[in-house]
Chains A and B, each alone.
Chain A
């Protein structure tokens, strides 16, 4: 569904990604783990058009989307829940969700039942239902994270990119986020998950990639990576 080949990207003259190749098959959950500064967020930004790649290709459902502006990529069905949540703080929770379906509302993607989908999000995230009329800027960090994920889902995406959905959340909320991701996986949502909690990410994922200094160093089935001694030592906090 999503295929990235030899992606090179960076900021100005600083190259962050060195020929990164990742494949996310339809209906699968792939996770990208690695330490801070390895280039996980940059990878997602280069996929969704927030950052223009220097070279390499990004294919979405067989079509080349490399270097397209992010609004064009969204119209092709890629949703990105970005690092730092980036909810629209002076709009209500309900309006944030409606904007998640912007491409559907303007007819760039199959319209479907936008209102019903929003109700479904409220069922999935009951806290958002309680706060639907509130400005998104007044939500707690955990609630904003729920909103960012729900907003991305409102696109009815072919592929969903999730950037550090657990960042800055209390342990209980982290569990809730991972439970939500597991539920999405059951519904066969194709996802690329970037996470700092590598163990939890590998527990829920089908496949994993380890990114080090802008390169993929290890990849394999999530279960295998969990057992890999090098991965365990470096990212899973296991004893030596």
Chain B
């Protein structure tokens, strides 16, 4: 009994970390521009499929930089085509429709290039589970957790240590004041979209060896990660990790103890509860403002 519970929790954690990385991407663009890429799930899907094509020639590790670079470009394209104009005209909702539309276009594109079926993604690590105290873990599941944390830590380090990272934080704090420092805040916003899609593309090639890939993989992941971003708060890095893991675990528990048919319900119920009682998210902080 306990062993099953432990098993469900452990495999919930790795899925949860994928949600966390995508949700982290939502946070990146929200911080600088107060906008989100609702095609984030499709960014993950595209990254994953590009990785699937490239991995056949290069192997897994050399494929990673190609996919990350692709993610950067794809995110920058989304910002230029879908978001920039909406920010310029201070449109409240233009970016919502534009990023959803771009997501649908990307999905159609992917269906035409790679087809509609799920594709098996070669795993860089052995596919036999390791037994850890009675719990069976795939090496790739461990790699997901490590990769996800490394990715978020790298961005955090960049933001805290480098002058360009500080310029990103400054833009998030106060865009006008950042402009007065000589920071090209329009470029910072493009960059945060690029980084956000990079995170999604990275998540896509992390999870693909475990779940397979395909043009349809993005929608549900993007939506669940959105729930995680709301649950964890759009401003808290720790929040998305905790939120992602909570969602990953509850999904697994519900799927096993209740029914796989209800797998998605608890996360969305949690989302509704958080929206009602803590709209800033479980870890969202009220920003300090002095007048």
Q: Cβ of A39 < 8 Å from any Cβ of B?
A: no
Q: Which interface residue of A69, A99, A140 has the most chain B CB atoms within 10 A?
A: A99
Q: Within the complex, what minimum Cβ distance (angstroms) separates B168 from chain A? A: 11
- Please judge, given known A-B contacts A91-B166, A99-B167, A105-B163, whether A74 and B287 are in contact too, CB under 8 Å: no
- Residues of B contacting A80 with CB < 8 Å? 180
Cα A192 to Cα B51 with chains together (Å): 56
| Contact call B166/A99, Cβ cutoff below 8 A | yes
| Contact call A102/B179, Cβ cutoff below 8 A | no
What number of residue pairs across chains A and B have CB atoms under 8 A from each other?
91
The number of chain B residues touching the other chain, given as a range, is 20 to 34
Q: Cβ of B185 < 8 Å from any Cβ of A?
A: yes
Chain A, residues 73-117, CB within 8 Å of chain B (1/0): the string is 011000110101011111100010011101101101100000000
Stretch touching chain A among B149-157, B169-177, B203-211, B216-224: B169-177
Q: Within the complex, what minimum Cβ distance (angstroms) separates B270 from chain A? A: 27
| Contact call A71/B177, Cβ cutoff below 8 A | no
- Please judge, given known A-B contacts A99-B167, A102-B163, A103-B181, whether A70 and B288 are in contact too, CB under 8 Å: no
Q: Residues of A within 8 Å of B, CB-based: how many?
A: 39
- Residues of A contacting B163 with CB < 8 Å? 98-99, 102, 105-106
- Residues of B contacting A214 with CB < 8 Å? none
Chain B, residues 265-291, CB within 8 Å of chain A (1/0): the string is 000000000000000000000011111
Q: Cβ of B182 < 8 Å from any Cβ of A?
A: yes
Q: Which interface residue of B184, B287, B289, B291 has the most chain A CB atoms within 10 A?
A: B184
17 CB contacts below 8 A, A to B, read: A70-B176, A71-B179, A74-B179, A79-B180, A82-B176, A82-B180, A84-B291, A86-B180, A90-B287, A95-B166, A95-B169, A99-B166, A102-B182, A102-B183, A103-B181, A109-B182, A168-B291
Binding site for A on B (CB under 8 A): 163, 166-167, 169-170, 172-174, 176-185, 287-291
Can you name 12 extra interface pairs (CB under 8 A) apart from A69-B179, A99-B167? A50-B180, A71-B179, A89-B173, A91-B166, A91-B169, A95-B169, A98-B166, A99-B170, A108-B182, A109-B182, A137-B287, A137-B289
